[in-house]
Structure 1
């Protein structure tokens, strides 16, 4: 095992919640686990990004911040725009090297993407290309709201087309009340490849995901 790449159908889908749960589930199996968020935007100067902080707190393999979060930008916009505003170009070689350093000291690395699956990172590469570069099984977090079916199916289609290993998907309620939620979840179950690892109830930001151990059982047996 080398870990998982956690992506989402969109910004705010619940990637960090799921990534932290996976870290805890892997640690519960006695594994040494590192966590990584290669790119973070919306960072307050002088403070640790809240997503990065949650991952650092969950992981038991401690590492330098430059490896855990190689690129951090102040502006809460798409990574390539934030990088341009900062006068920086996001380099996949830099991220891959940081990942290798983390992997050298861990049994598994949980990598959380930024934004959605195809969000641009530089003038020609995107988050999907980074996932392809790392070659990790992909966990798709589906933010459950109107439009999620289209977003989820298109994302899954792209993952499969690139030949990446498919780990499964997690439904995450991001609205207090979603009309016809059960029907939407049933459609996702019947159409998405890989197992449904869980469906998370709506919660306030930062709340823990439910029963991550069951996710790990499915991930390790598929």
Structure 2
């Protein structure tokens, strides 16, 4: 079997990847589920991890977020919700930031626990690269500190060129390792779609790993055909 998640430009193999986006609601969960599906197809034990979630809803088991529930269902082993999402919040970034303090040691401990139970970990961020986990620090600082390779999800719409280039530049300037990006079509009627993809390929300093069409009800879809096997040689 090929090397799995080999960091770009390095010989070492890494066992986790962080999924960020150009904005909120651009398809981070879609890409996270696709990577979990690919790993499962290769017989690799894997799990999703969403350290911080927004817009969680009350359930009989406590606050839960739909995105984290999908990651829980897509994982190859049975995990309790709190292992997938230690920090669920009911509000958005704006409404939770002023009153919330996320303990990075807790995030790291949760990640380490999952790493001891599965072979590969897909970590999904919240919002964009600079989304705050409290009023002082973005989650990206934790990602860089933990040396987690990053995949950028670009929601394809008018204006995405600027968002994508700035996000990619920020990841690299902050010391992150950008191993690839994924195009996710969130506007099915966009006439300039192919031109945008071409420009993004020219200006994002990382390979395009996949191109996901507009897909409602992603939890019911096989997402693996939309990813480039050669570009994902570091994965499977």
- TM-score of the aligned structures, taking structure 2 as reference length: 0.85
- Cα deviation 1:15-71 (Å, max 9, x = unaligned): 000000001111212211011011111111116321011101111133332221011
3-state SS of paired residue (1:20):
helix
1:74 to 90, 96, 102: 90
How far apart are the structure 1 equivalents of 2:223 and 2:208? 14
**Please, what is the CA RMSD of the aligned residues?**
2.0
1:20 to 30, 33, 57: 33
What aligned pairs does 1:45-56 form with structure 2 within 5 A after superposition?
45-46=58-59, 48-56=64-72
Whether the 8 Å CA contact 2:97–2:132 is kept in 1: the answer is: no
Whether the 8 Å CA contact 2:52–2:126 is kept in 1: the answer is: yes
What aligned pairs does 1:115-130 form with structure 2 within 5 A after superposition?
115-130=127-142
3-state SS of paired residue (1:220):
coil
CA shift, 1:164, in A, is: 2.1
How far apart are the structure 2 equivalents of 1:83 and 1:101? 26
Q: Report what 1:38 is aligned to.
A: 51
Q: Report what 1:202 is aligned to.
A: 214
1:141 to 144, 153, 171: 153
CA shift, 1:143, in A, is: 0.4
1:175 and 2:175 aligned: no
CA shift, 1:206, in A, is: 2.6
May I ask how many residue pairs the two structures share in their alignment?
A: 218
- Name structure 2 gaps, 5 residues minimum: 1-13
Q: Report what 1:150 is aligned to.
A: 162
Q: Report what 2:105 is aligned to.
A: 93
More helix by share: 1
Q: Report what 1:57 is aligned to.
A: 73
Q: Report what 2:4 is aligned to.
A: none
- Cα deviation 1:89-117 (Å, max 9, x = unaligned): 11211111100110111111100000111
